Amino acid sequence: MEPGGRILVADAQPLVREGLKALFGVMDGVSVVAEVSSGGGVLTVCDRARPDLLLLDCCLPEKDGVLLARLIRARGGGERVLILCGHGGDCLDPAVAAGADGLLLKEADHEEVRFAVRSVLAGGFFVSPSVAGRLATRCRQGWALEDRRTGGWEALTPREREVLHYVAEGFRNREIADLLVVSEKTVEKHRANFMAKLGLHSAAEVRAFAQRQGLPLRLRDHLVEKG
């Protein structure tokens, strides 16, 4: 069964929003639960509509998609974020650095849009093929930098490793605190410590680091619900 989910569409152009809603309307298990034309109210609408995926235009007025991705990651939410970008993918680097789960060019055809949405909803990372080569280059550069860092995984305490693993799986700070039976402030401290030691700046970078360490990552929806 293909992964489904609730989507928030944020784009300043009504034609783009209508086109995306029409496309998602014929996809099984996918529904648009909210749409906005500017970035100012996205977080409020997100809290109310509780989407699984935010599709954010990188050029939204008030707060652009990249800034919103950073804010969403900073508050520890589990929402997936897919950035919509024109201009040949100029916002690729900022989007990845902000912790977005993918970047979709506005020139993409319907099949690519559907594949991107399904991939990100399933917990994957998607980048439009025409800019994927640039991302591969950035990854190689990033891994070379990480290889030069001292300590790495071995420098983390056992608790920091536990918190890192949960963050990589998409858990919020509050949820991690419940699982580890500690305060949320304690989780925040461990999270800040391991990110500083490893030079990581977003949940996407934590996830990528965990994958390179070979940690078994599961989607939150596949885990037993906490009582």
Q: Would you write out the chain's pLDDT as a tens digit for each of its 227 residues?
A: 567 799 999 999 999 999 999 999 899 899 999 999 999 889 999 999 999 999 999 989 988 998 999 888 888 778 999 999 886 667 787 888 888 999 999 888 999 999 999 999 999 989 888 777 666 565 555 544 454 444 477 788 999 999 999 999 889 999 999 999 999 999 999 999 998 888 888 888 888 888 877 777 775 544 433 33
Shared-domain flag, residues 20 and 120:
yes
Are residues 80 and 107 located together in one domain of the fold? yes
Q: Are 12 and 37 in contact (CB under 8 A)?
A: yes
Domain-ending residue, one of 88, 105, 138: 138
DSSP tag of 225: P
The owner of tokens 């920091």 is 160
Same domain, 184 and 216: yes
Joined tokens for residue 155: 């420098």
Could you tell me the pTM of the whole model? 0.60
Residue type, 148: R
Q: How far apart (Å, rounded) are the C-alpha atoms in residues 69 and 94?
A: 10
In angstroms, rounded to a whole number, what is the distance separating the alpha carbons of residues 91 and 103? 8
> How many domains are there within the chain?
2
